[in-house]
Amino acid sequence: MSSFADDFGIDDLPVRDELRGKSPYGAPQLDVPVRLNTNENPYPLPEALVERITERVRDAARHLNRYPDRDAVELRTELAAYLTKTGKYVVDTENVWAANGSNEVIQQLLQTFGGPGRTAIGFEPSYSMHALISRGTGTGWLSGPRNDDFTIDTAAAEKAIAEHRPDVVFITTPNNPTGNAVPPATVLALYEAAQTARAATGGAMVVVDEAYVEFSHGDSLLPLLEGRPNLVVSRTMSKAFGAAGLRLGYLAAHPAVVDAVQLVRLPYHLSAVTQATALAALEHTDTLLGYVEQLKTERDRLVAELRALGFEVTESDANFVQFGRFDGASGSHEAWRQILDRGVLVRDNGVPGWLRVTAGTPAENDAFLDAARELPTSARATPAPPKEQNA
| Spans of the chain below 50 pLDDT | 1-2, 384-391
- pLDDT score recorded for residue 5: 56
- pLDDT score recorded for residue 24: 78
Q: How far apart are CA 346 and CA 148, in angstroms?
A: 23
Domain 63-283 in CATH 3.40.640.10: yes
Residues 85-94: contacts with CB under 8 Å, at least 24 apart: 85/285, 86/214, 86/220, 86/289, 87/219, 87/220, 87/222, 87/223, 87/252, 88/219, 88/220, 88/222, 88/223, 89/220, 89/222, 89/223, 89/225, 89/226, 91/222, 91/252, 94/255, 94/258
- pLDDT score recorded for residue 11: 83
Q: How far apart are CA 384 and CA 333, in angstroms?
A: 18
> Any residues with CB less than 8 A from the CB of 3 and at least 6 apart, and which?
none
Q: How far apart are CA 261 and CA 264, in angstroms?
A: 6
- Region 24-46+287-376: CATH code: 3.90.1150.10
Residues 365-369: contacts with CB under 8 Å, at least 24 apart: 365/36, 365/298, 365/301, 365/302, 367/33, 367/34, 367/342, 367/343, 368/34, 368/36, 368/302, 368/339, 368/344, 369/302, 369/305, 369/306, 369/309
Q: How many residues does the chain have?
A: 391
Domain spans of the chain? 24-46+287-376, 63-283
pLDDT, tens digit (0-9, with 9 covering 90-100), for 143-181: 999 999 999 999 999 999 999 999 999 999 999 999 999
- pLDDT score recorded for residue 389: 35
